[in-house]
Structure 1
Amino acid sequence: MLNILIVGLGGFIGAAGRYSLGLLNGRLYPIVIFPINTLAVNVIGALVIGMAEKYFLESGNFGSSLQLFLMVGVCGGFTTFSSFSLETITLFACGKTFIAVCNIVLNVVICLIFVLIGRTIMGRILL
């Protein structure tokens, strides 16, 4: 039960952070030209989860309450794969196929790269 509360608290913080980031440029939705907020959130989340994963593996704290809080809760609440999916489908439905494909490629490729960057950064910090 405690782990559920830990993940829930992290999720609240992540979701509030996501909402706050959307307010920075004065819009949450709709898509104007390109869904940059979602891309930014996914890239930041990928970087953080890559760093966290490396830290927890190297420190031997994998499976700890802090790991659940940060990786499952905060990162899970912060990143927005469901928003990404909806925005991509909306772009396709509006006939913006090229932008939809760019959205898919950029979110997937850049986020994979940032997970690796996050792991690398944390690996160097832990040396």
Structure 2
Amino acid sequence: MTYVFIAIGGALGACLRYFLSQQALIWFGKEFPFGTLLVNVLGSLIIGFFYTLIAQGYVQLIPWRTFVGIGFLGALTTFSTFSMDSLLLLQQGAWIKASLNILLNVFVCLFAAWIGSKLVGFKF
């Protein structure tokens, strides 16, 4: 059953990643890897929120960690693409864009994970 949860979550995450990446191209163009940044920030927000739900006992660890944490978020977010985007920018001599990409992915994603964890206690 574990692999079924991973597979279903992964399929959903991969489809959302593709959709958001395509939308980012339409919205922002190709001059900067906004699609990768978008999915990484969104994934960080979700993981902060979701793992806080688990830690506080609102959501059971099994099967949800496997479905969301490994499957869905594993397919949605992409450190390898972030790394390649940054390397390509560096190879093109776009030092400012590469630096911005690295800083945004690291710091905005950390901030998004923190915000996600804080949303658990927020009353909508």
Corresponding residue number in structure 2 for 1:98: 96
Structure 2 letter corresponding to 1:56? I
1:121 aligns with 2:119: yes
Structure 1 letter corresponding to 2:108? I
How many Å apart are 1:45 and its aligned residue?
Answer: 0.5
Q: Which of the numbers 77, 82, 87 marks the counterpart of 1:79?
A: 77
CA distance in 2, matches of 1:7, 1:45: 16
Q: Which of the numbers 32, 35, 38 marks the counterpart of 2:36?
A: 38
Any idea what SS the aligned residue of 1:59 has?
coil
How many Å apart are 1:23 and its aligned residue?
Answer: 2.1
1:3 aligns with 2:2: yes
Structure 1 letter corresponding to 2:8? L
Contact 2:24-2:34 at 8 Å conserved across structures: no
How many Å apart are 1:62 and its aligned residue?
Answer: 4.9
Any idea what SS the aligned residue of 2:61 has?
coil
CA distance in 1, matches of 2:6, 2:121: 25
Long gaps (5+) in structure 1: none
Long gaps (5+) in structure 2: none
Contact 1:61-1:67 at 8 Å conserved across structures: no
Q: Deviations over 1:45-98 (max 9, x none)?
A: 000010000001111645310221011111111011111111100000101111
Q: CA RMSD in A?
A: 1.9
Corresponding residue number in structure 2 for 1:21: 20
Q: Deviations over 1:86-124 (max 9, x none)?
A: 110000010111110110011000000000000001133
Structure 2 letter corresponding to 1:8? A
Deviates more, 1:60-69 or 1:36-45: 60-69
Corresponding residue number in structure 2 for 1:110: 108
CA distance in 1, matches of 2:54, 2:24: 34
